[in-house]
A and B are shown apart, each in its own frame.
Chain A
Amino acid sequence: MKPLTGIKVVDFGQFLSAPSATLRLADLGAEVLKIERPGTGDICRSLYISDCVIDGDSSLFHAINRNKKSVAIDLKDPESRPVIERLIGDADVVVTNYRPGVASRLSVDYESVRRINPSVVYGEITGYGNEGPWIGKPGQDLLAQALSGICWLNGNADQPPTPMGLSVADLFAGQLLVQGIMAGLLRAKRTGEGAHVHVSLLEALLDMQFEVFTTYLNDGHKPPRRSSVNNANAYISAPYGIYRTSDGYLALAMIAIPALGKLIGCDELLSYENPDEWHEKRDDIKRIIVRHLASQTTKHWLSILEPADVWCADVYTWDKLMRTEAFHDLDMVQKVRRDDGTTVATTCCPIRIDGERYKGGPAAPTVGQDDNEYL
């Protein structure tokens, strides 16, 4: 039995943050019902990237909404209220990611929902919290990244602050919401008490940075210094980073510099015996390594470094990764299907339970496809 079998989730969310949370709940066995506006539905449906449209919906929408159901309801229409109240009354979990104020206008804020269903676990994602001067700001991933300081960790020192190249604020906030919701569900099972769980994109980004941000809070507020050469972590010493070789790339994690010099036959590195220098002279050291590694192939270097138990790796594209036996054994890809026969290849739940990789479930729903069952 999947762990969340029997849990009913009503999802008013759009785009990525909240829907990625309910995706995980669905992966783990919950029944997730998307409430969508009639006609257009979740705006993510039309957020196309790479010109990839699958049966009318974007690949992003398909990735985020597999294994869910959809009903089309106009929340502004008073006639739809009894249906909304019935669905909320039946739910264990209600999820929203409106801008502050919108949920109460639509009477789906926590207070309204709790009046209908006192033991409900209500999960909410905002950009910057429900109070303070930023509540009116758009809760958009890049903008939250820009304000969180994270862009000063990423990219090389000579680059402008560089965002992480994915919607990491949405993704992390979504997963933190899952944690809060499930903690609330466990308590609700034990005590009958409901919960109002709140996660903001900004706090999710700070939590992502908590190790290095903690360092900053206690080192006299020294600003992080990105490496000028193949930056991979502003706080970690040479050789940490990804290097070009004559035919590709090589990732090097932590290793003593003279030991690395000896292994790769780079005499210039041998004199860096003091570990403090690996940090202070990080860029000089990395430039020496850059010059040296460019002379041979990735395979050559791996054949020297791996047997010596140096923390190193090839650097793969998805193409290369997916041709490996290791990827095949990981079993992280599945095909899901719509009733009309449309198939979508996508990833699976990253969590294995009782030895099983959960798969299947229909592909993402069309708008209102389950109206007959629920309305």
Chain B
Amino acid sequence: MKPLEGVLVLDFCQYLAGPSAAMRLADLGARVIKVERPVVGDGARRLALEGLWSDGDAVNFHAINRNKESVTFNTKDSDDLAKVKKLVAKADVLIEAFRPGVMDKMGLGYDDVHAINPGIIYGSVSGYGTVGPWTRKPGQDLLVQSLSGLAWLNGDADQPPMPFALSLADSYTGVHLVEGILSCLIRRETTGKGGHVEVSLLSSILDLQFEVITTYLNDGHRPPHRGEFHNAHAYLAAPYGIYETSDGYIALAMGSVSRIGELIGSPHVAAHTDESEWFTKRDDIKREIASVLERNTTAHWLGILEPAGVWCSDVYTWEQLMASDAFKALDFIQNVARDGDTELLTTRCPIRFVGEKRTDSKPSPRLGEDTEHIIDEFGLNNTKEELA
């Protein structure tokens, strides 16, 4: 039995943050029903990267919405809204990411839903929280990264602040939403009571920085300084970073600069025996290391450094990674194409339950494809009296 079997989740979200949370709940065994607008549905259905489509929806939509069902209801229509409320009454979890106040206007705010179903776990995603001057700002990933200070940790010192080049605010917020929901489901086993979980992109992207922000809060608010040369972490000393070799790259994590100097045959680098200089002179030291490493191949340097126990590694592209036996051993790719003949490859759930069977995900749903059978299954049709 998958851990979340028997848990019913209604996902009212679009794009990435909320739907990625619902995806994880589905990965873990929950039944997830996407509640979408008629005709259009989740905006992510239309948001194709590299012009990639499959069966009328963006390939990324398929990846994010694997293992879900889809119903379409027009919440502005009283008949449909009554159906939605009946479904809400049977759900364990509801997730929404509308701008603050929108669900209330639909009659589906936390208080309304709690009145219908006191045991429900209600998860809300916002950009910047529900109070304060930024609640109207667009909750978009790059903008949140930009306001959060994160971009000053990435890239080299002579560059503008550089965002982390993925939608990390969205994905980390989704992760936190899952955590809050699961914790409340656990509590409900004991208390029978539901709960209200609120996450925001800004809180989550600050949490991503919690170690270095804590440092900043206690070191007299010294701003972070990105390295001038191949920065990899604003707070870490040489040799931490990625270096060019004659045929590729090599990553060096924390280690003794002087010992690495000896190993790579550089008396110059080996002369840096004062550990405090590994941070204060890190750019000079890294340039010295780089001037040695560029003279030989990655394999050559790994052949010297790995046996000596230095924390080092090749630097792979996806292509190189996928060609490795290590990647194959992970068995991390699955096919989620709707039509059995085609192929739509994506990753699996990264959380393993060791010794338990790992099953392939069901394909993502076509817009509204489950509306009829869910109306039947949950008895959502309204009588005249109910509508009156």
Contacts and interface: CB of A to CB of B under 8 A. Distances in A.
Given A155-B162, A214-B59, A166 B208 contact: yes
A329 interface: yes
Interface in B33-68: 49-50, 52, 54, 59-60, 62-64
Given A178-B179, A183-B182, A313-B146, A211 B63 contact: yes
B272 to A, nearest CB: 18
A216 to B, nearest CB: 6
A142 B233 CA distance: 9
A354 B16 CA distance: 24
A154 B217 contact: no
Q: Which of B29, B167, B208, B236 has the most CB of A within 10 A?
A: B208
A351 B347 contact: no
Interface in B175-217: 175-180, 182-187, 189-191, 195-200, 202-204, 206-217
A308 interface: no
A165 B231 CA distance: 8
A179 B142 contact: no
Interface string A293-336: 00000000000000001011111111101001110111011000
B263 to A, nearest CB: 16
Given A214-B347, A330-B202, A319 B214 contact: no
A154 B352 contact: no
A315 B161 contact: yes
B311 A161 contact: no
A199 B351 contact: yes
Contacts of A140: 253-254, 311
Contacts of B212: 49, 166
B315 A151 contact: yes
A325 B49 contact: no
Interface residues of A, number: 148
A4 B235 contact: no
A51 B187 contact: no
Contacts of B244: 160
A24 interface: yes
A317 B236 CA distance: 19
Contacts, number: 472
Interface string A151-166: 1111110011111111
Nearest to A150: B166
Contacts of A24: 179
A217 B333 contact: yes
Interface string A167-187: 110011001111110111111
Contacts of A138: 253, 311
A366 interface: no
Nearest to A219: B50
Interface stretch (A70-78, A83-91, A221-229): A221-229
A333 B217 contact: yes
B326 A350 contact: no
B35 to A, nearest CB: 22
A141 to B, nearest CB: 8
A326 B352 contact: no
B183 A149 contact: no
Contact of B155 (A162, A166, A199): A162
B199 to A, nearest CB: 6
Contacts of A3: 180, 183-184, 186-187, 195
A179 B312 contact: no
Given A1-B191, A52-B215, A242-B151, A318 B223 contact: yes
B341 to A, nearest CB: 15
Given A143-B311, A165-B233, A211 B49 contact: yes
B378 interface: no
Nearest to A179: B178
16 contacts: A1-B187, A50-B216, A153-B166, A160-B242, A161-B242, A162-B154, A166-B150, A167-B233, A208-B171, A214-B62, A216-B318, A244-B160, A251-B151, A313-B144, A315-B160, A346-B213
Given A175-B175, A214-B60, 15 more contacts: A59-B214, A64-B211, A133-B329, A152-B317, A161-B315, A162-B155, A162-B230, A162-B242, A179-B24, A185-B182, A233-B165, A234-B165, A316-B149, A352-B197, A353-B195
Interface of B: 1, 3-7, 16, 24, 28-29, 49-50, 52, 54, 59-60, 62-64, 128-129, 131-134, 137-138, 140-156, 159-168, 171-172, 175-180, 182-187, 189-191, 195-200, 202-204, 206-219, 221-224, 226, 230-236, 240-244, 249, 251-254, 311-321, 324-326, 328-330, 332-333, 343-347, 349-356
